[in-house]
Amino acid sequence: MFVHPEFDPIAISIGPVAIRWYGLMYLLAFVAFIMLAKRRLHLFPAIKMSDVDNMLTWAVLGVILGGRLGYVFFYKPDYYMANPGEILAIWEGGMSFHGGFLGVLLVCFIYGRYKDWKFFDVMDFVAPAVPIGLALGRLGNFINGELWGRPTDGWWGVVFPQAGDAIARHPSQLYQMSLEGIALFIGLWWFASKPRPRAAVSAWFLIGYGAARFVVEYAREPDRFLGTLSLGLSMGQWLCVPMILGGFALLAWSRNKPTGLETMTALEAAQAKAGKGSKRSK
């Protein structure tokens, strides 16, 4: 049995500036996204490195606002409607992956419309570069000693003093890091390493994340203010159900669709032709 060491929540402190572990994990996640996205540019010719930088800038906003609003409306709507001034108190904790996911979807949709790209071409480009960031986020949860698991008799159980008891619990944060992060990254990166029908990569992201999160939730302690909901499922599990079903529906829809490489190459050629035409007309 391992007792969580209750790490100092501040990872780096330089004078009055303090960087917390969770913030550091977010920073590393964004750096990882840039590095991985760069390696996928050859599959999406119309997307340039400057586009990756722009999308990431807006995605940061989507993750933060979407994650916070998702927590507010999915988990504690009554509390925050009675205390609206606390909605912006992000430093007190309270973020939802599913809300952040919706925020990123909105950002990709808007940026794709601006660039005249197909929405699922954008999502297929982005999806494989995301799981490593999810893994880092869960590592941050473990370091902070939050979102701990349910009680276990296993030798791998961890006592989280933050839980207010001496009960050995599943290190569910590490389970999520392994499945939603590392395993999903390996599988999705391999699948997306070759041109695939439009939306197929996005579909497998939805299925893979949704299934991994659904399973691990059985080992994760439900939020104490919510407990379990209908059918004994947690809020996290119920939010994963539409992801999994939507993923399978998207996978079926993607059959016989062109690949992102084909559509992006055609778009790049069309844009180049239009550019030459505009020069000739001047």
Rounded Cα–Cα distance for residues 248 and 201 (Å): 11
Query: What are the C-alpha distances in Å from 217 to residues 149, 152, 202?
Result: 8, 14, 22
Helices (H), the chain: 21-38, 49-74, 77-82, 97-115, 119-126, 131-144, 172-176, 184-191, 200-216, 235-253, 260-281
Dihedral, CA atoms, 133, 134, 140, 141, nearest 10 degrees?
A: 170
Beta bridge partners of 37: none
Rounded Cα–Cα distance for residues 228 and 21 (Å): 29
Tokens of 46: 């119309």
Rounded Cα–Cα distance for residues 265 and 118 (Å): 12
First to last CA, the chain: 75
For 169, phi and psi rounded to 5 degrees?
-130, 160
Q: Was 169 annotated as part of a binding site?
A: no
* Annotated binding-site positions: 138
